[in-house]
Amino acid sequence: MFIFDQILRPMIRVGVIGAGHLGKIHLKLLAENPKYDLIGFFDTNTETSEVLATNNGYRYYSSIDELLTQIDAACIVTPTPFHFEVAQKAINHGVHLLIEKPITPSVNQAYQLVKDAREKNLIGVVGHVERFNPAYSAAASFINEPKFIEIHRLAEFNPRGNDVSVILDLMIHDIDILLQMVKSKITSIDANGAAVVSSSPDIASARIAFENGCVANLTASRISLKNMRRTRLFQKDAYITIDFLAKKTEVVRIKEAPKNPEPFDMILQTAEGEKKQIYFESPETTEVNAIAEEHNDFALAIEGSKDPNVSFEHGAKALEVAQAIIDKLEF
């Protein structure tokens, strides 16, 4: 039945707007995806676009409006300052949207897109691609009301992405994940940061407290000597490490010790005299391309098979928290 449905279901006509480093990745993966018919792409740089089109067999549209009249869905991969303008133009053409993060430069613009897409009955998703990281997928079933979370996202300096602060460039990934892990209202945010090589913060840390008692510390840097994307969660019965870079998850669980433990069981005794057993688990992860998974999720949402994993609403909420962190910084 599934194969028959796939044969009957028409391919989604898709275009890419913005053909920089990330735009090229979207183009390649969409061209390979059987759910999509890649119609072409638009970019403001005519010279490099014509070379890209010639070398890869893509069609280059010199007019964004012409492209939008030919497609059902679009991936917006322009610099962040242009997200809102391009998205509104696409929505007016009745085009479903996948927008790279952050959704828009401002929170008001983000919620305007939420409203506009809803009124047009269009699917809108945001490229918080870590949601599709197999390490996070493997950890999700173990996460149960964490009380303390420590998050580090460190990257070596790269001029690409410096049109926004490190909060919108890197930390927003972890803000989005955090809001999925902690289903509680934020009560306070504290933050500090420093601009080192650009005019906006290149390194920042934030402390977010939630109504349910959970506290999260987030650190993001784009001037590190090494790369790190690691989250550690502490909850009543477990300590969970999610390594987004290595795509691995480790879980340490604590349970009541059995009356007759095996010789190699790890048993500890608390100050109160209780005996606990420690279990180590490494949930299996499946190697996937997170952006390709994001495309599949987008297609299923357009077809009406499911709600998108990362909706415009999710992107707007993540941006709202990110902006609250930025507002705490003195720049």
User: What pLDDT is recorded for position 4?
Assistant: 45
For range 277-299, the mean pLDDT: 93
Domains (ranges, CATH) in the chain? Answer: 2-128+291-311 (3.40.50.720), 131-286+320-328 (3.30.360.10)
More confident residue, 329 or 95: 95
User: What pLDDT is recorded for position 273?
Assistant: 72
Q: Mean pLDDT over all residues of the chain?
A: 92
pLDDT digits (tens, 9 = 90+) for 86-103: 999 999 999 999 999 999
What is d(CA 281, CA 58) in angstroms, rounded to the nearest whole number? 46
Q: What percent of the chain has pLDDT over 70?
A: 95
Question: Shortest CA distance to 233 belongs to which of 138, 171, 142, 170?
Answer: 142
Instruction: Using CB atoms within 10 Å of the CB of residue 67, give its burial: 0 to 12 exposed, 13 to 18 middle, 19+ buried.
Output: buried
Q: Structure pTM?
A: 0.91
User: What pLDDT is recorded for position 162?
Assistant: 66
